[in-house]
Structure 1
Amino acid sequence: MTNANEDGAEGSRNKVMMPVAAVVQAYANAVWIESDITGNRHVMMQSEAPGAQPHCFCTLRYEHHYTDNSHLEQVAERIASMLGATSPIERRFRDVPTTLPAVAHVVRELPAQEPRVESGAVRFGGDWPGTFIRGDSAGYYAMTLHAILQRSAGNGGATPDAIARIQLRGLYDLLRGCVVGPASALLPRDTE
């Protein structure tokens, strides 16, 4: 014995009745892997449905103590494949944001050091060396870079090239001082 419910679905009295549905449109997902400047891999996906935005399914973080680039690539590829990516999997490089988030302007307070820390390469424990730039030097570098960026944008800039080159040569030497191992040979000492 059958009966019809209000939606028009048919079934027997002892079974749950479900209306019959027809698939009108099925949208596929595009899947790709993005890398960023810090070495992280982001497995991205986006529906082909109108108005769909890219979605970061997962981020695999690079940490030199535990991971390497090859391992991150393999894991990212496996995840992308599970999500439906086909070989060869599309690769993209994530653009560096042109504006930093507000948290980047927070000053991290550390205990005073004796003697005071000067601009140059600094290493905390066994971590990679980094560049410390004292505030007065940072101000000069920021002004010089700003002037060069403004000039390259067609503004004409007022900073003479000689002063800009001196400031940038100092910044180059500061940053070069953090590069250790074989890679340091790629950055020769500026003799100009």
Structure 2
Amino acid sequence: MTALPTSLRERKKAKTRAAIREHAMRLFEEQGYAATTVDQIADAAEVSPSTFFRYFPAKEDVVLADDLDEVMVRVFLAQPAELAPLDAMMQAVRDIFTGMDPQVWAFERRRQDLIFGVPELRARAIQQMTETVDLFAGAIAQRQGLPADHFPARVMAGAAVGAILAIMPSGVGAQGVTPGDHSRMEQALTLLRDGLPLG
């Protein structure tokens, strides 16, 4: 679902980033997140530690970087202008989840398994929600022709992210969203759009 890099340089960078991430995920799964070092990841990916840090600021960012957020914003902004923001968001969810490559889903499942299985990653992922709110607040404001710091747009973004977060399973053994769960995300956004009726 992500845009394909166009220049040779961009393609090489994307390939290096993907290799680092794949080797990191493999090592995390084989020997555990805590036991895996940046040096081991860099060695497996045949890059230097300094190259690793050019792509990922810290080891945890290999797992926590969510490439789907930017895709979601792009698809959201491309929705027909006559759709209200939450309806555009629901359509974007539909478009992304129904058109996603199975390999992307397989990687996303591995990523979410790590996040939900490693307490420090899960805690950081919750903290990252603020960045997601920032991203979608800007997208909503842009789509509606409003200032980037428009307060109601930020509140709407926070409510939408919170609604989606609310459907995520919690507790021991919890896992993240699966391909078939997009309907639950739509239901959450529909409830929000309709004023959160409890009946």
Q: Shorter-normalised TM-score: what interval? A: under 0.3
Task: Return the index of the structure with the highest Cα Rg.
Answer: 1
Q: TM-score, normalising length from structure 1? A: 0.28
Q: TM-score, normalising length from structure 2? A: 0.27
The structure whose RCO (Cα within 8 Å, separation 6+) is larger is 2
Structure richer in strand, relative to its length: 1
